[in-house]
Amino acid sequence: MAAPAERMKAMRERRREKGLRELRLVIPDARSEEVRKRIAEQVARLDPEDEIEAMRWIEAVTDFDADTPR
């Protein structure tokens, strides 16, 4: 059997042949108290009027996209 590194390399090559590319994301861990505190502080600073405007825009775009034939 091939070594794990060789199997991963072969898998990546097969994906590339299909036009795919591996993407890794590193995101904040929402289970961390420090991260949750930082998020809460950022949310508290949001301007409610700006958020309402953003939600209206998102809803308008969503409605527009729903009318587009696929």
Q: What is the pLDDT along the chain (70 residues), one digit of tens a residue?
A: 689 999 999 999 999 999 998 889 999 999 999 999 999 999 999 999 999 999 999 998 887 665 566 5
| Domain boundaries, given as residue ranges, for the chain | 4-66
Mean pLDDT of the chain: 90
Q: Render the chain in DSSP notation, one character per residue.
A: ---HHHHHHHHHHHHHHTT----------TTSHHHHHHHHHHHHTS-HHHHHHHHHHHHHHHHHHHTS--
Residue 2 has a pLDDT of 82
